[in-house]
Amino acid sequence: MPHRKTALRLVAPVAVLALALTACGGGGDKADAKSPDTEKAKVFPSPEPASGGELETGESATGKVAEDPGEVTYEVVAQKVDVGTEAEAAKAVSEPDKVKGKVLAVAHVKYTHKSGPALTDGSDVHDGTTVFADGQRGSVLIGASEDATGCEDPYDVESWKQGESHVFCETYVIPANAKSAEVHWSEEDGEPYIWTFPNA
Protein backbone atom coordinates (compact mmCIF):
# COMPACT_ATOMS: atom_id res chain seq x y z
CA MET A 1 0.00 0.00 0.00
CA PRO A 2 1.62 3.33 -1.03
CA HIS A 3 2.43 5.80 1.70
CA ARG A 4 0.20 8.87 1.73
CA LYS A 5 3.22 11.18 1.34
CA THR A 6 3.66 9.81 -2.19
CA ALA A 7 0.10 10.77 -3.06
CA LEU A 8 0.65 14.31 -1.74
CA ARG A 9 3.81 14.62 -3.80
CA LEU A 10 1.86 13.96 -7.00
CA VAL A 11 -0.42 16.97 -6.50
CA ALA A 12 2.17 19.31 -5.01
CA PRO A 13 3.47 20.86 -8.29
CA VAL A 14 0.02 22.29 -9.11
CA ALA A 15 -1.61 24.67 -6.67
CA VAL A 16 -5.13 23.39 -6.17
CA LEU A 17 -7.84 25.14 -4.22
CA ALA A 18 -9.28 22.47 -1.96
CA LEU A 19 -12.65 22.74 -0.31
CA ALA A 20 -12.42 23.58 3.37
CA LEU A 21 -13.66 21.00 5.83
CA THR A 22 -16.12 22.01 8.50
CA ALA A 23 -14.32 23.40 11.51
CA CYS A 24 -14.48 21.26 14.60
CA GLY A 25 -15.94 22.90 17.66
CA GLY A 26 -13.89 22.68 20.77
CA GLY A 27 -11.86 24.34 23.41
CA GLY A 28 -11.98 22.35 26.59
CA ASP A 29 -11.94 23.98 30.00
CA LYS A 30 -8.49 24.81 31.26
CA ALA A 31 -7.47 23.09 34.45
CA ASP A 32 -6.88 25.37 37.41
CA ALA A 33 -3.13 25.98 37.51
CA LYS A 34 -3.12 26.44 41.28
CA SER A 35 -4.10 23.50 43.43
CA PRO A 36 -2.81 21.75 46.56
CA ASP A 37 -1.43 18.98 44.37
CA THR A 38 0.74 21.26 42.22
CA GLU A 39 4.00 20.48 44.01
CA LYS A 40 3.27 16.74 44.03
CA ALA A 41 2.49 16.86 40.31
CA LYS A 42 5.97 18.23 39.59
CA VAL A 43 7.62 15.29 41.29
CA PHE A 44 5.12 12.59 40.34
CA PRO A 45 3.56 13.70 37.06
CA SER A 46 -0.02 12.64 36.51
CA PRO A 47 -1.51 12.17 33.03
CA GLU A 48 -1.35 15.40 31.04
CA PRO A 49 -4.55 17.47 30.82
CA ALA A 50 -6.43 17.73 27.53
CA SER A 51 -4.42 19.66 24.99
CA GLY A 52 -5.44 22.86 23.31
CA GLY A 53 -6.16 26.46 24.09
CA GLU A 54 -5.21 30.02 23.17
CA LEU A 55 -1.49 30.80 23.12
CA GLU A 56 0.36 34.10 23.05
CA THR A 57 2.60 35.06 20.14
CA GLY A 58 5.91 33.22 20.61
CA GLU A 59 4.44 30.76 23.12
CA SER A 60 4.94 27.11 22.21
CA ALA A 61 2.81 24.00 22.51
CA THR A 62 4.00 20.44 23.06
CA GLY A 63 2.37 17.42 21.52
CA LYS A 64 2.96 13.86 20.34
CA VAL A 65 2.72 12.60 16.76
CA ALA A 66 2.70 8.97 15.62
CA GLU A 67 5.53 8.97 13.07
CA ASP A 68 6.75 6.09 10.91
CA PRO A 69 9.50 4.90 13.32
CA GLY A 70 7.49 5.63 16.48
CA GLU A 71 5.89 8.35 18.60
CA VAL A 72 7.72 11.70 18.59
CA THR A 73 7.16 14.62 20.97
CA TYR A 74 7.36 18.03 19.30
CA GLU A 75 7.48 21.60 20.48
CA VAL A 76 5.36 23.67 18.10
CA VAL A 77 5.15 27.44 17.68
CA ALA A 78 3.40 29.48 15.01
CA GLN A 79 5.90 32.21 14.10
CA LYS A 80 3.86 34.42 11.77
CA VAL A 81 1.23 34.55 9.04
CA ASP A 82 2.08 36.32 5.79
CA VAL A 83 -1.10 37.68 4.21
CA GLY A 84 -0.95 38.46 0.48
CA THR A 85 -3.10 40.43 -1.94
CA GLU A 86 -6.14 39.50 -4.00
CA ALA A 87 -4.02 39.72 -7.16
CA GLU A 88 -1.51 37.21 -5.75
CA ALA A 89 -4.35 34.85 -4.86
CA ALA A 90 -5.75 35.07 -8.40
CA LYS A 91 -2.35 34.20 -9.88
CA ALA A 92 -1.89 31.21 -7.57
CA VAL A 93 -4.95 29.25 -8.67
CA SER A 94 -6.18 27.80 -11.95
CA GLU A 95 -9.67 29.32 -11.49
CA PRO A 96 -9.22 32.94 -10.30
CA ASP A 97 -12.99 33.51 -10.08
CA LYS A 98 -13.09 31.16 -7.08
CA VAL A 99 -10.84 33.43 -5.02
CA LYS A 100 -12.44 36.82 -5.70
CA GLY A 101 -12.38 38.87 -2.51
CA LYS A 102 -9.87 36.49 -0.97
CA VAL A 103 -6.16 36.48 -0.18
CA LEU A 104 -3.48 33.91 0.58
CA ALA A 105 -2.40 33.43 4.19
CA VAL A 106 0.91 31.59 4.62
CA ALA A 107 1.42 30.31 8.17
CA HIS A 108 5.05 29.74 9.22
CA VAL A 109 5.23 27.09 11.95
CA LYS A 110 8.40 25.93 13.69
CA TYR A 111 8.54 22.32 14.87
CA THR A 112 11.27 21.08 17.22
CA HIS A 113 11.90 17.35 17.75
CA LYS A 114 11.99 17.05 21.56
CA SER A 115 12.02 13.28 22.15
CA GLY A 116 11.44 10.00 20.39
CA PRO A 117 13.13 8.19 17.49
CA ALA A 118 15.05 10.04 14.79
CA LEU A 119 13.09 10.43 11.55
CA THR A 120 14.55 9.23 8.28
CA ASP A 121 11.69 9.73 5.80
CA GLY A 122 9.80 12.98 6.32
CA SER A 123 7.31 13.84 9.04
CA ASP A 124 3.56 14.07 9.58
CA VAL A 125 3.73 16.77 12.28
CA HIS A 126 2.46 19.49 9.92
CA ASP A 127 -0.71 17.50 9.15
CA GLY A 128 -2.23 18.92 12.34
CA THR A 129 -1.90 22.54 11.16
CA THR A 130 -4.77 24.59 9.74
CA VAL A 131 -5.44 28.32 9.22
CA PHE A 132 -8.62 30.10 10.23
CA ALA A 133 -9.74 33.69 9.70
CA ASP A 134 -12.04 35.39 12.20
CA GLY A 135 -12.93 31.95 13.60
CA GLN A 136 -13.77 30.33 10.24
CA ARG A 137 -11.52 27.74 8.62
CA GLY A 138 -9.91 28.86 5.36
CA SER A 139 -9.50 26.79 2.19
CA VAL A 140 -6.18 24.98 1.88
CA LEU A 141 -4.06 25.70 -1.19
CA ILE A 142 -2.11 22.54 -1.89
CA GLY A 143 1.41 22.91 -3.25
CA ALA A 144 1.69 26.66 -2.73
CA SER A 145 4.02 26.84 0.29
CA GLU A 146 7.11 25.06 -0.98
CA ASP A 147 8.65 28.13 -2.61
CA ALA A 148 7.75 30.65 0.09
CA THR A 149 10.75 32.36 1.67
CA GLY A 150 11.78 30.72 4.94
CA CYS A 151 9.66 27.61 4.35
CA GLU A 152 10.99 24.07 4.07
CA ASP A 153 9.35 21.19 2.23
CA PRO A 154 8.49 18.61 4.92
CA TYR A 155 9.01 15.79 2.43
CA ASP A 156 12.60 16.88 1.80
CA VAL A 157 13.53 16.38 5.47
CA GLU A 158 15.21 12.99 5.34
CA SER A 159 16.92 13.11 8.72
CA TRP A 160 15.44 14.71 11.81
CA LYS A 161 17.04 14.09 15.18
CA GLN A 162 16.16 15.16 18.69
CA GLY A 163 16.89 18.85 19.28
CA GLU A 164 16.58 19.83 15.60
CA SER A 165 13.97 22.28 14.30
CA HIS A 166 12.32 22.86 10.92
CA VAL A 167 9.91 25.52 9.66
CA PHE A 168 7.03 24.23 7.53
CA CYS A 169 4.40 26.46 6.00
CA GLU A 170 0.73 26.04 5.21
CA THR A 171 -1.06 28.23 2.65
CA TYR A 172 -4.77 28.90 3.02
CA VAL A 173 -7.22 31.17 1.22
CA ILE A 174 -9.05 33.54 3.58
CA PRO A 175 -11.37 36.54 3.10
CA ALA A 176 -9.50 39.73 2.21
CA ASN A 177 -11.37 41.68 4.90
CA ALA A 178 -10.60 39.25 7.76
CA LYS A 179 -9.48 41.03 10.92
CA SER A 180 -7.22 38.20 12.07
CA ALA A 181 -5.66 34.93 10.98
CA GLU A 182 -5.44 32.07 13.43
CA VAL A 183 -3.02 29.16 13.22
CA HIS A 184 -4.37 25.95 14.73
CA TRP A 185 -2.23 22.91 15.53
CA SER A 186 -3.40 19.77 17.28
CA GLU A 187 -2.42 16.23 18.00
CA GLU A 188 -4.55 13.57 16.34
CA ASP A 189 -8.03 13.75 17.91
CA GLY A 190 -6.81 16.51 20.27
CA GLU A 191 -8.15 20.00 20.85
CA PRO A 192 -6.22 22.65 18.89
CA TYR A 193 -3.67 25.09 20.19
CA ILE A 194 -4.44 28.48 18.65
CA TRP A 195 -2.18 31.45 17.83
CA THR A 196 -3.92 34.63 16.62
CA PHE A 197 -2.24 37.17 14.33
CA PRO A 198 -4.02 40.47 13.53
CA ASN A 199 -4.14 41.30 9.82
CA ALA A 200 -2.26 44.47 8.96
pLDDT of residue 200: 54
**Cβ atoms of 168 and 185 closer than 8 Å:** no
pLDDT of residue 145: 61
pLDDT of residue 86: 95
Domains of the chain, earliest start first = 4-21+59-198 (2.60.40.1240)
pLDDT of residue 146: 60
Rounded Cα distance between 149 and 131, Å, is: 18
Q: What is the pTM of this model?
A: 0.74
80 has which bridge partners?
Answer: 108
pLDDT of residue 26: 41
pLDDT of residue 10: 35
pLDDT of residue 122: 82
- Mark the ranges of the chain whose per-residue pLDDT is less than 70: 1-51, 145-147, 200
Among 100, 88, 93, smallest CA distance to 175 is for 100
